[in-house]
């Protein structure tokens, strides 16, 4: 019962946070001069990427926790965070091309950060398929945990490989005006709260039997 | 520690003999690789494309696919006949079993690469020149990491229903940085540049160390009963 109350609270906070973020994006912050309206996608694109990485980090930690303690509780969180993380990386991969089309004139540019996100998406989509098709027993949980740990070790290597291989399009340091950084902060909070609400809901919805 | 390597060697010897006797895994994977090379030639216009440059990338795709065909099966017969239980009872760390299987896979990859290179020299007029030895070094280092991840994931997927079709989709995304490095280094070696100073080689080395260490530790959890 206690847990359900937290889910309601998290959803209320997520709704408030995102309402505030949307109001700030469309009603408060200035429209960027060179890119125009499409730049506003930045306020969801970047926070989604950060949240995606955080969630996959949680999946890694909980996978270790599961192999260590063999407690299904850890597995449930690992699975849920991978699933929600996949959703947020998908958001990054959808909003990226929309922004890219306006900024670079092409839907997809093989640009380091976008490419890293794509590879990450492929790895965790594979994890998701494994969980989807190989049953719900303890064996699948154990195998998935090993896979998640291996995949997470790959993240820094992917990062360097793509950085050396690709050409840099993303600006290294973004100098944001104060109203823009405030809006970014609020939208980041909104996305973070949404991620938390989704994660809690997903954890609650998964039976804890293996 | 001596027991560890002894068991690893025994597992290696057992699997090596078995593969040589059964031959079907080796034969099918090698045939698939040669077939892919021929298909690759037909899919391009050889008058328009420099086959050595395009081949550098493509040979790695063939090695990836043919290698996964072979490695994906390295635990299958153990689970089919129930001998995996017996193997895990070996009086040593389970990493030894992994190491034995790993060495067979590595040996196969090196054999496949040598053969493929030979066929590429003949069919594609592949020119390595002075780059041949750097090329061999690069391919060896890449294979070390490839076999490391391949063997661990092979142990994972043989335990789940329909694991065989999942094997390549679990394996290939993890190998992407290795494929980029392999393609870049192969091209560099063929162009005659010094690959030993390359940052890509260090990346491959890092990949090898991380994944073999991780696999030795994780294998115990990968096959737990």
Confidence band for A32, pLDDT divided at 50, 70 and 90: confident
Question: For B115-130, what is each residue's pLDDT tens digit?
Answer: 998 988 888 777 777 7
Proportion of chain A above pLDDT 90, given as a percent? 39
Contact B177 A139 (CB under 8 A): no
How high is the pLDDT of residue A203?
87
CB within 8 Å: B162 and A119:
no
Backbone angles phi, psi at B132, to 5 degrees: -65, -45
Tokens 């192999």 locate to A67
Contact A143 B200 (CB under 8 A): no
Question: How far apart (Å, rounded) are the C-alpha atoms in residues B50 and B127?
Answer: 11
Least confident of A28-37, A38-47, B187-196: A28-37
| Whole-number pLDDT of residue A79 | 92
Half-sphere exposure of A14 (CA within 13 A, CB side): 17
> Quick one: average pLDDT of A155-178?
73
Q: Does A122 touch chain B (CB under 8 A)?
A: yes
Say which range, A42-51, A158-167, B93-102, B212-221, has the weakest mean pLDDT: A158-167
**DSSP SS3 for B73:** coil
Euclidean distance between CA atoms B208 and B144, whole angstroms = 6
The CA-CA-CA angle for residues A72, A57, B176, to 5°, reads 110
The encoded tokens of residue B157 equal 């997927």
pLDDT the model gives residue A169: 53
* CA quadruple A83, A153, B167, B90: dihedral sign: negative
Residue of B nearest to A121 (CA): B173
Does the distance separating the beta carbons of A153 and B177 come in below 8 Å? no
CA distance A19 to chain B (A): 37
A-B Cβ pairs (cutoff 8 Å, strict): 87
Nearest CA in chain B to A68: B221
Decide if A134 and B162 are in contact by the 8 Å CB cutoff.
yes
Which tens digits make up the pLDDT trace of B179-188? 989 988 988 8
**Average pLDDT of the residues of chain B:** 87
C-alpha dihedral over A128, A161, A40, A24, to 10 degrees?
Answer: 70
Helices and strands (H and E) in chain B: how many: 9, 0
Q: A130: which chain B residues are within 8 Å (Cβ-Cβ)? A: 160, 166, 170
ipTM of the complex as predicted: 0.88
Hey, are the CB atoms on A149 and B214 less than 8 Å from each other?
yes
Phi then psi dihedrals of residue A32, to 5 deg: -65, 140
The mean-pLDDT minimum among A51-55, A56-60, B187-191 falls in B187-191
Distance from CA of B205 to the nearest CA of A (A): 11
Q: Quick count: other Cβ atoms within 10 Å of Cβ B4?
A: 14
Q: Which of B156, B164, B184, B225 to mutate to test the interface with A (most CBs of A within 10 A)?
A: B156
Summarised one tens digit per residue, pLDDT across range B80-110 is: 787 888 888 877 788 888 999 999 999 999 9
Question: What is the pLDDT at residue A172?
Answer: 55
The pair phi, psi for residue A25, each rounded to 5°, is: -65, -40
pLDDT at residue B38 is higher than 60: yes
Q: Where are the alpha helices (DSSP H) in chain B?
A: 2-22, 24-43, 51-71, 76-81, 83-88, 95-123, 132-157, 163-190, 199-222
pLDDT of residue A103 exceeding 90 = no
User: pLDDT-based confidence at A112, cuts 50/70/90?
Assistant: confident
Give per-residue pLDDT as tens, A189-210: 999 999 999 999 888 877 665 4
DSSP state of A20: H
Q: Give the integer Cα–Cα distance in Å for A181 and B191.
A: 48
């Amino acid at each position: 019962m206690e847990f359900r109350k937290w889910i309601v609270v998290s959803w209320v906070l997520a709704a408030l946070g995102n309402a505030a973020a949307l109001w700030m994006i469309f009603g408060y912050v200035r429209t960027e001069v060179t890119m125009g309206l499409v730049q506003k996608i930045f306020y969801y694109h970047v926070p989604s990427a950060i949240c995606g990485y955080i969630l996959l980090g949680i999946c890694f930690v909980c996978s270790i926790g599961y192999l260590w303690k063999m407690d299904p509780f850890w597995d449930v969180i690992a699975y849920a965070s991978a699933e929600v993380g996949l959703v947020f990386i998908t958001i990054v991969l959808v909003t990226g091309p929309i922004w890219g089309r306006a900024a670079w004139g092409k839907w997809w540019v093989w640009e380091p950060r976008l490419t890293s996100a794509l590879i990450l998406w492929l790895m965790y989509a594979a994890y998701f398929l494994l969980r989807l098709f190989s049953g719900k027993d303890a064996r699948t949980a154990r195998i998935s945990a090993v896979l998640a740990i291996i995949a997470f070790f790959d993240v820094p290597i992917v990062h360097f490989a793509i950085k050396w291989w690709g050409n840099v399009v993303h600006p290294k340091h973004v100098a944001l005006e104060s109203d823009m950084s405030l809006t970014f902060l609020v939208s980041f909070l909104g996305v973070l709260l949404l991620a938390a609400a989704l994660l809690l809901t997903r954890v609650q919805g998964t039976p804890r039997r293996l | 520690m001596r027991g560890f390597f002894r068991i690893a060697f025994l597992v290696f010897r057992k699997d090596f003999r078995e593969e040589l006797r059964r031959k079907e895994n080796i034969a099918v994977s090698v045939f698939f690789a040669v077939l892919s090379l021929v298909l690759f030639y037909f899919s391009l216009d050889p008058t328009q494309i420099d086959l050595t440059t395009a081949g550098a990338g493509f040979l790695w795709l063939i090695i990836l696919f043919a290698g996964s065909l072979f490695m994906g099966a390295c635990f299958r017969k153990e689970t089919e006949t129930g001998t995996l239980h017996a193997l895990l009872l070996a009086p040593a760390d389970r990493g030894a079993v992994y190491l034995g299987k790993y060495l067979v896979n590595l040996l196969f990859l090196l054999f496949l690469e040598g053969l493929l290179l030979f066929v590429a020299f003949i069919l594609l007029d592949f020119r390595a020149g002075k780059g041949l030895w750097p090329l061999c070094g690069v391919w060896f280092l890449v294979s070390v990491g490839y076999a490391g991840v391949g063997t661990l994931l092979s142990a994972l997927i043989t335990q789940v229903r329909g694991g065989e079709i999942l094997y390549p989709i679990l394996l290939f995304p993890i190998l992407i940085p290795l494929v980029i490095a392999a393609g870049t280094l192969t091209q560099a070696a063929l162009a005659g540049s010094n690959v030993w100073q390359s940052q890509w080689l260090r990346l491959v080395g890092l990949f090898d160390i991380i994944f073999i260490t991780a696999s030795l530790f994780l294998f115990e959890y990968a096959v737990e009963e």
